[in-house]
């Protein structure tokens, strides 16, 4: 677990790299350098970064419009700058209460500045390996009380986490959540991709910058989230969960999976 007091500006942060790729301004030279290295190795990253955000938006829309959920917890949230959870949820129902969280202290600090005038939102520091930090917080008590029927966002996070931590997080959330709770998951991975030289290069670049990605095959990934169950929508390749049946689909090799989980 990373201590709360430490901000390391010599390392890029996944959230600030993503912010830069999405056109945001909350990032440093070290993040832009890493982003440009990754873009050179895998130009598809630009396309991906918008597709990822759209996927998150479809998950949140499903929570609020289809399921009528009034409470959302978002882990590894990054910066709430571009079409993020609260914007999507509040466009449908401004009364939805959202708790964002991230392990990166600067991200938390910046995000609080961005959200200063936004109602029904808190942004907490939390290592997703210990979701208890959010679940036991004063803010969770204030927003949710004893009603634990929630939508959980767990997008682009699992591949940053060790298996033991991910399993603990999933089980803790399951035990805390009320039946009817749902969780949208997007994670990098894919059996075909694991031997791809481009991936090896991406992993090597990340490792140099201190980011240790854990890529899993689908069975392994799903097993991490037990006892949550995949909804009737099934598992989608890449970022395509929730796309309408007639939407154009990418035929690119699987480099990520997206799925909705629920507690019955």
Binding positions for ligand SAM, rule: CB under 6 A: 13-15, 18, 52-53, 56, 75-78, 102-104, 107, 127-129, 155-157, 160-161
Closer CB to ligand SAM, residue 76 or residue 181?
A: 76
Q: Is 105 strand, coil or helix?
A: helix
**Shortest Cβ contact with ligand SAM: which residue?**
15
Closest CA to 260 of 63, 125, 23: 63
State in angstroms the smallest separation of the CB of 177 from ligand SAM.
Answer: 18
The distance in angstroms from the start CA to the end CA of the chain is 31
State in angstroms the smallest separation of the CB of 239 from ligand SAM.
Answer: 10
CB neighbour class for 10 (10 Å; exposed up to 12, middle 13-18, buried from 19) = exposed
State in angstroms the smallest separation of the CB of 42 from ligand SAM.
Answer: 14
To which residue do tokens 């791809």 refer?
196
Closer CB to ligand SAM, residue 123 or residue 144?
A: 123
State in angstroms the smallest separation of the CB of 109 from ligand SAM.
Answer: 12
The Cα-based distances of 199 to 40, 189, 194, 196 in angstroms read 12, 10, 7, 5
Give the separation between CA 42 and CA 195, rounded to whole angstroms: 15
Closer CB to ligand SAM, residue 13 or residue 237?
A: 13
Closer CB to ligand SAM, residue 99 or residue 161?
A: 161
Closer CB to ligand SAM, residue 145 or residue 159?
A: 159
> Residue 143, Cβ neighbours under 10 Å: how many?
21
CB 177 within 8 A of CB 263: yes
State in angstroms the smallest separation of the CB of 264 from ligand SAM.
Answer: 25
């Amino acid at each position: 677990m990373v201590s709360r007091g430490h901000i390391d500006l010599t390392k890029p942060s996944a959230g600030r790299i993503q912010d830069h790729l999405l056109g945001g301004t909350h990032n440093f030279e070290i993040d832009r350098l890493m982003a440009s290295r990754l873009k050179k190795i895998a130009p598809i990253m630009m396309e991906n970064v918008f597709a990822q955000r759209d996927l998150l938006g479809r998950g949140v829309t499903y929570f609020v419009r289809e399921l009528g959920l009034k409470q959302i917890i978002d882990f590894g949230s990054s910066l709430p700058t571009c079409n993020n959870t609260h914007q999507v949820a509040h466009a449908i129902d401004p009364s939805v209460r959202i708790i964002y969280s991230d392990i990166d202290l600067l991200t938390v600090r910046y995000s609080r500045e961005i959200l200063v005038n936004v109602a029904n939102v808190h942004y907490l520091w939390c290592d997703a390996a210990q979701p208890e930090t959010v679940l036991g917080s004063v803010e969770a008590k204030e927003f949710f009380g004893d009603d634990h029927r929630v939508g959980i966002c767990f997008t682009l996070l699992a591949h940053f986490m060790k298996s033991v931590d991910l399993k603990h997080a999933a089980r803790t959330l399951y035990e805390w959540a009320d039946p009817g709770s749902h969780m949208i998951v997007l994670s990098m991975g894919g059996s075909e991709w694991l031997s791809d030289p481009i991936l090896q290069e991406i992993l090597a670049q990340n490792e140099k910058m201190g980011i240790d990605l854990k890529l899993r095959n689908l069975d392994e990934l799903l097993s991490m989230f037990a006892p949550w169950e995949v909804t009737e929508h099934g598992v989608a390749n890449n970022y395509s969960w929730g796309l309408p049946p007639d939407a154009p689909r990418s035929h690119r090799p699987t480099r990520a999976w997206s799925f909705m989980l629920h507690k019955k």
